Amino acid sequence: MKAAPHKAESLKTAHNLISKHNCGKVQYTSDLSTYRKRAKAKFAQNTLMRVMAKLNSPLAAKYEETQFCSYSLIQNGNTFTARYCKQRWCRICNRIRTGKLMNGYSDAIQAMAEPQFVTLTIPNVPGDKLRESIKLMLNNFRKIQDLRRKNKQPLIKAIRKLECTYNPDRNDFHPHVHLIVEDLQQAEELKLAWMERNPEALEYLQDIRPAKEPIELFKYFAKLTSKGSKDIKTYKGKKLISREEYHYPEALDLIFQAIAGMRIIQTMGGVKMVSDEIEEIESVEIENVESDQALWQWQKIGTTAEKYTYDWVNIFTGECLTGYEPSEKEWKYSKRIRYLQV
């Protein structure tokens, strides 16, 4: 572990924090690589969350909470305790949720006859129509099942995830739903019923394919970057289309406002619902660290604008916990932010 340049000085109060009282029951055992991956997730959203917390949005205070997600780690022996923001845009919290969902749904997916990965969409909508469009979409699933129930057809058995992406070229939004459906027949019937209720949806965008890695469904809730086709660079007289993706904070904010209070993952046709609720305070036993009583704080390390990283720094000794250093790609990713030109 390398030393951070600045060591904290007045530490008496910090010592009072490190007591059994502040460390909950150990929920699981892990090793330092868990925190290294979290450092990467936290670094990736650092800049974006700082920007979003300053937006004129009803969610601004919640974006600020995400800035402080697992900001301090209390170490008591080998147990590390952190507080999580539990917000749905938080990469750290989503890593924990994804793990829970993958474990929780694996039996249900394995029990499916021939699971199909289905994508259903509606035409893109402007920001001010997003919430009602999503409500309408979700309502349609209810109606499709109700009709099947009435007609004594077997209910569509599926796990469903809501997603929404932003199109920066058109400045509009693309709400869609991914599902893992029981078998091909149900998938095709569902697609047909969807087209009947959404005749303006383009047929070729309604996709059915065998679910090779059904677990992918749980990977992320809302993509935090968007790709536009306008990024054209000229290199040696040739036009090159840049494939870089950018964060659009205002658009993301609109998406999160639109889905406030809605369930992202839903089950259909009797698949048992799995909770993705995470504990606000989590205590983890870390195997490969020296037992100690310490307080670690998320801090900037390095002094130049071009060369710095973040890590949890031991406020007593100045040690860094994970040694995480962003790759060039990770560094650029965290900085790629664009504002909407209104």
Tokens standing for residue 176? 């869609």
Q: What's the first-to-final CA gap in the chain, in angstroms?
A: 47
Tokens standing for residue 243? 């494939």
What torsion, rounded to 10 degrees, do the Cα atoms 186, 155, 218, 128 define? 100
Q: Is 96 in the site for Zn ion (CB under 5 A)?
A: no
The tokens 């677990």 sit on which residue? 215
Which of 18, 49, 73, 90 forms a contact with Zn ion (CB under 5 A)?
90
Shortest approach of Zn ion to residue 252 CB, angstroms? 15
Shortest approach of Zn ion to residue 279 CB, angstroms? 12
Shortest approach of Zn ion to residue 84 CB, angstroms? 5
Q: Please, which residue, 45 or 133, has the CB nearer to Zn ion?
A: 45
Shortest approach of Zn ion to residue 180 CB, angstroms? 26
Which of 52, 92, 96, 201 forms a contact with Zn ion (CB under 5 A)?
92
Cα–Cα distance measured from residue 294 to residue 276, given in angstroms and rounded to the nearest whole number = 30
Shortest approach of Zn ion to residue 298 CB, angstroms? 12
Other C-beta atoms lying within 10 Å of the C-beta of residue 54: 12
Question: Which segment (80-88, 164-172, 215-223, 249-257) binds Zn ion by CB under 5 A?
Answer: 80-88
Cα–Cα distance measured from residue 94 to residue 102, given in angstroms and rounded to the nearest whole number = 12
* Residues within window 60-79 making contact with Zn ion, judged by CB under 5 A: 69
Cα–Cα distance measured from residue 34 to residue 30, given in angstroms and rounded to the nearest whole number = 7
- Give the footprint of Zn ion on this chain (CB under 5 A): 69, 84-85, 90, 92-93
